[in-house]
Amino acid sequence: MSPITPVLKREFLGYFRSPVAYVFLVVFLAASVGLAFFVGRFFDNGQASLESYFVFHPWLFLFLIPAVGMRLWSEEKRTGTVELLFTLPVTTLQAVLAKFFAAWIFLGIAILLGVVPMAATVGYLGDPDWGVMISSTLGSLLMAGAYLGVCSLMSSLTKNQVISFVLGVIACLVLLFLGWSVFNDVLYAAFPVWLADLLANFSFASHFDAFTRGIIDPKDVVYFLSVAGFSLFLNVLALER
Amino acid sequence: MIEVNGLVKNYGPKRAVDGVSFTVRKGDILGFLGPNGAGKSTTMKMITGFLRPTAGTAVVDGHDVTRDPVAVKRRLGYLPESAPAYGEMTVAEFLAFIAETRGYRDAAARRERVERAINLTHLESVRAQAIETLSKGYKQRVGFAQALLHDPAVLILDEPTDGLDPNQKHEVRSLIKKMAADKAVVLSTHILEEVEAICTRVIIINHGKVVVDETPEQFRARRPGARLDEIFRSLTTADA
């Protein structure tokens, strides 16, 4: 058995040993549900769907996932435990994967804690399309993984958590804005069409969109997984420098 | 047990370690001395596989650290400077985590390892306490417990007695001595009496180079009657 399990377990339980987990869960649930109710007009829509809930996820993740990801490596570097971790018989890849999956599972729990009661509400009040809800949830989980991969990479670049957070937000912001129409116009004005198309294709938002409409396109799944995978690959390189 | 061959480490244009070579045999307690910034910690970090050497290598118990760092890490116990640990964990939780990561998957075997380490380092009274709430001496002992948990053939200790009171220092030294018979130990220190008290060999490193490699007796005989720190000063300031 590989040492991934104990490292993952320690990291995951670590969230609950400190107030981090509870603060995050409360903020995430309050913000995601609050946005759906007050900005998304969840009830006024009169529709049995979670569209007004999921539509805010890319924006919510923009701040909340860097908050989870910022400590992944920065904290280890600042407290010196990175030296401890990398003198245990663990390879860099194993450590990177263990920490990533611990954080991803934690985010997954947060997302499900938000989705399940919302879905139950909608199911009680109306007759929702469960398929769309499931695909939206899957999309949200995958998108969280991609955000987290980027933030884990940013965290490995510095031992300062504030810098790590800011870098994470900026990197995710760029990846999100690539698909935003206003930003797209700038892209098309500045670059040849093929390049602008290519760049716009790298947006979190446009790939998440299909999921919220009930379409699970393998292209989108591969996109999110490869953003996470490539970030983690760079993360390993950054740590082995 | 440890063979260090021409280790070099550059930090940008600065050369922190410049061709350090030495060997440590089973039963040796090697005192690693030198002024701050001489390259002691860097050398130790390269032996443990934490830092990759710019050139040269270290062979620990037959395994080359540049080729198979995980094999080296399995055979080696390392106490980093100022004994970092996951502060939010309790002593017992932390040691159980180390044991599990070191491959003790069976719960009974793991418990036995943790108990042994706790007993050796006298941590019984704080076992259920979060590490961040411990005093410096206890934190250092937790670092120790972690390093010797898997009964490694090689121990690398970066300033093991730093920040301890005289009683604790004495205790740590006798612990090192007790364990050293069937191990190779490298410890760095600033305290010259420590070298006299426990080390079987002295290496002094200055500006990244080995300037002295001999027994404490030979070291003392360099200038009969002089205090150890005088000899140390003359060796490490002459070429500065």
Ranges of each domain in chain A: 4-240
Phi, psi (5° rounding) for residue B11? -110, 100
Residue B156 near residue B186, CB atoms below 8 Å? yes
Assigned domain for B134 exists: no
Assigned domain for B26 exists: yes
Averaged confidence pLDDT in chain A: 90
pLDDT at residue number A152: 96
Region A191-219: mean pLDDT is: 85
Interface pTM (ipTM) of the complex? 0.89
pLDDT band at A206 (very low <50, low <70, confident <90, very high): confident
Q: How far apart, in whole angstroms, are the C-alpha atoms of residue B64 and residue B58?
A: 6
Tens of pLDDT, residues A142-186:
999 999 999 999 999 999 999 999 999 999 998 888 877 677 777
pLDDT at residue number A44: 78
Domain that holds residue B173: 2-85+153-237
Work out how many domains chain B is built from and give that number. Answer: 1
pLDDT at B240 over 70: no
Q: How far apart, in whole angstroms, are the C-alpha atoms of residue B40 and residue B31?
A: 11
Quickly tell me which residue has 């985010």 as its tokens. A107
Tens of pLDDT, residues A7-42:
999 999 999 988 889 999 999 999 999 998 888 888
CA-based nearest residue in chain A for residue B132 = A79
A197: Cβ–Cβ under 8 A, 6 or more apart, which residues?
A: none
Residue A46 near residue A67, CB atoms below 8 Å? no
Give A18 to chain B, closest Cα distance, Å.
Answer: 7
B214 touches chain A (CB under 8 A): no
Averaged confidence pLDDT in chain B: 90
pLDDT band at A1 (very low <50, low <70, confident <90, very high): low
CATH number of the domain within which B178 lies: 3.40.50.300
Assigned domain for B145 exists: no
Question: Quick one: which of A79, A72, A107 has its CA closest to A239?
Answer: A72
Of the partner residues A81, A90, A240, the one whose CB lies closest to the CB of residue B86: A81
B152 touches chain A (CB under 8 A): no
Q: How far apart, in whole angstroms, are the C-alpha atoms of residue B183 and residue B151?
A: 9
Report chain A residues whose CB lies below 8 A from the CB of B81: 80
